[in-house]
Chain A
Amino acid sequence: MTPLVNIAGLGVAFGGVPVLRGVDLALGKGEALGLVGESGSGKSVTWLAALGLLPRHAQVSGSVRLEGREILGAPATELDHVRGGRIAMIFQDPASALNPVLTIRRQLCEALALHRDLQGNAVKAEARRLLDLVGIPDAGRRLEAYPHEFSGGQVQRIMIAMALAGNPDLLIADEPTTALDATIQAQILDLLSTVRREFGMAMVLISHDLGVVAENCDRVAVMYAGRIVEEAPSNQLFADPAHPYAQGLIGALPPLDGPRRRLTAIPGTVPDPAKMPGGCAFAPRCALASEPCGHAAPSLAPIANDRRVACIRAEAFRRALLGIAAE
């Protein structure tokens, strides 16, 4: 079966400095995928590049297929149809994500007019219905308001309504709750999973919050320094991370139950993209690094059904997993 989106060898460089160094990722219809990693690991850039939303001076290479059709470098008219119509995206900072001088109605109806065959009053009625759906009270009156008249959480709800306007197959939520209060975060995440179920959409949840991803996603891909280093079903990744970086991320999480333990931090910082070490980018911070790690960057290798890891110790993991399975 063709996946909904298939990204292969996606690379992005700014002024010759690579920030994305060969990303391979597939996403099925209706699937919820979490994309985690530190700031600057390339989570957002992956999807901005896929949708052609990076600034013009970015050099993008590789392939992004939507139901088998290449969209990387596709003509503008085709991309405009994909953006919002097939793949919608919402962003981190709701305060600046909406145009300050246009009413919500203008911005919502614009998306509806672009992707739905609606006319006249039907457009406005649909806009009202969407606002209702995302939980903006008094939707009819609020349509005429401007973005600054809403709170951050409400603006993010409006962004979700706008994303739903095109009936997309995939919603990319780029750190949708990072800029919001904790109580509002939970509401927005609830809303996202509700609309995902109702619309049967696939979703990519980009976040550096592992807890958020664990709760909302079927599968997780961990990114480090412009590459995916591990990909696994959520429950397996959190129970038994294979890549030392994923282990480090999960070791840094406080457990909700069980005995209290000391949290571990990953030593060092993410390498500067301009001074990337040869070989595995994580090796300088890795407690398990050995001499061969410096030679070549390991590629993603399967270690079980649905599980892939980019580490020279992948084979050892695979055996360990099989050994557990054999018992």
Chain B
Amino acid sequence: MTSRLRSAVLALASAGAVLCGLPLLAPLVSGGDWWAASAAVLAGMALVGAGLRLLPRGAALLVPPAQLLTALVLATAVFAPQTAAAGLLPTPASLDELGRLLSEGRREIAANPPPVADGAAIALVIAAGAAAAGLVGDVLSVTARTPALTGVPLFAMLLIPLAVDDQGVGTGAFALAACGYLALLAVDGWVRGSGWAPHAGAAASRALGALRHGLLSAGVAAAALALALLVPVALPNLASGSVYQMAGPPGLDRTVTTSHPLVSLRHDLGSRSDAVVLEYTTDASSPAYLRTFVLDAFDGTDWTMSPVRLDDGDVLDGEALPPVPGLIGGDHERVGYDITLMRDLQETAFLPLPYPTRELDLDGEWYADPDSLMVFGTSVQDPTPEYRVTGLDLRPDPARLTGSGAGSPDERFLVVPSGVDDRVARLARSITEDADDRLARAVALQDWFTGEGGFRYDLSPPALPEGADPLAHFLFDSRVGYCEQFAASMALMARQLGIPARVAVGYTSGTRTADGRWQVRESDAHAWPELYFPGQGWLRFEPTPGDGQGTASVPEYASGAPSAPSEPEAEESPSAAPEESEAAEEEDGAASPDREDTAAPGREAPDSGGAAPGDGGGPWVAVALAAAAAAVLVLLPALLRAVRRRARAVRAGAAAPAAAAEAAWAEVRDLCLDLGLGWSEAESPRAAALRVAAAAALDEGSAEALDRLARAEETARYAPEPAVGPSLPADLRALSVALRRSVPPAARARAALLPRSLLRLPARPAASPGSPRLSPEGG
């Protein structure tokens, strides 16, 4: 087999591997024929790549542009034939059409949680991605002769569904992709093996050798794959947790990027549907809201959930939940709820629960977040569970909430990013300038939204003008919105006033039916702020105007006039609270682990901006880290090679003669391999030196240096006493420079970035060991 034919076969195998990876993307698209276009583009590119490689040398450089052109022509023929010349040749109009389809596809992907519906735009986006993967795979497999690295684009195809979708990829798709990759490696091994027997005759032994070579490389890769699959199973902690790095908040814009349960709920927040979400029975006359989850981080536009810390300790092993954060003294009425979910939970699900939940009776593996008391499961078996909950009916005495003293469970509940419009903080201060304690301020804010602010509730707020800050637009211009906007705005303004705040999302209490049951419908989906009060913990407020959300209710402590601060009990409370706190902690050491006992009153100006460095910088740090990691990954082979080169240079200069010669000669070998000058295990040092000097057209000085290196190695290997000159390191340096100069810059760059010597497979002796040994002669 000629080397050209080998390259062509390898090109086809590489395209085949990418093709086998296509089903990995299936979870992203619902149904349809999206894969046909991608397959056609990949097949066309493969044929062009293989065909060009059959041509004489040099045509390989044309492969990437030719493949790009092929992909473009095929995409034009499939997606924009009516605007193309002769139905397939790209014209400006067809390019415009493709561009339009691409951006439409991007919008569709942005606007819909996966799986997105199939369509021409989506198919084009995927085909473009597949073409890119095919191109990279071809360059890596054939041009750079590193087929193993084709796993990188394949890995990317595997990561996309894992990153945007909790469902993961199907076993079949993964197996197919893995098989394609292994097949590529096997073909590579076969190609390498068949390169061995130069003579046409040894067909049988050549085929055997190729087969063995192919099986060996594929076997190693298969073992690695099996390990990669088994290790996470053996270490269960690695399997969970990462899933919760999700976003997708009920912010003020419509971007949705995940299939987090939040997304569907958020959809409900604007819903007028009457579909029943859940039913429950309870003894309480005014049941609590059913909270599903809590958004605790504000990034300037959206409220999002911080990654949930998932520790083993958070597994609900009994019924009891962690202690209620910030709540001191435990004389609260317990209220039971029997909840029946009517709508299917996803595999990863948060439970709607009254806050604060104390006990939960439900089978399965559930976790509770100690900060928020959110309860969620990662492998939900029963999609419509029934469960019994015991909550606390918090009826805080308004007199005890007046303390303006701080005390926060965590700094993060006060963070306000730096990008927020200055007017918002001024507005918050002006609204609350008459209020002199925390509760009064909170109530003033709430009342401003529901009353004097003049807000109007509308599930379909007017479109946001281009480029406007959604928050500022809502607060200062339109003043039209629904629960999301009200909750988000009040929570932010509370933070600016120094009150720890967060946004809760879930359902209102719903409506009571004639038979005494409570029904919660989709239209009862709601968002509301929770504010923190020392000694009481988190309390909900209701800034959404009452005429809007039909079943919303203002809690007792937040309704009516603020209590008079001059009442005696109220005066006592600030000092009484810490005493009680200590007493409570003596009784129950585990109480409120997050509370700051040392927090000083008024420790922070409310409008200080709260530009917490860890929050606003998050994405950039991540991007920078990812870029650095990518750079390290790209440069890793070069680094490994440099380390090896350095070690050999040291040995060549300092080690014992034989070891020095060996190190220097090994470096010469790797240098030749890297630069594509070739190396044969059957070549003796001096034969290799003669060949390399001729192949690289070395000048006399460099050729002599090479000769000295070869002779040193020869004596080290075969002479009774190695004869190694002192010029070894200098010779090695001079030779490196000369050899590098002898190849074109592209080959030099490839040698630096993708040194082939790192992947060198040791050749095996052709003869079987164990043959009768020659008895040594005298001498």
Are A and B physically bound partners? Answer: no
Q: Which residues in B have some Cβ–Cβ distance to A below 8 Å?
A: none
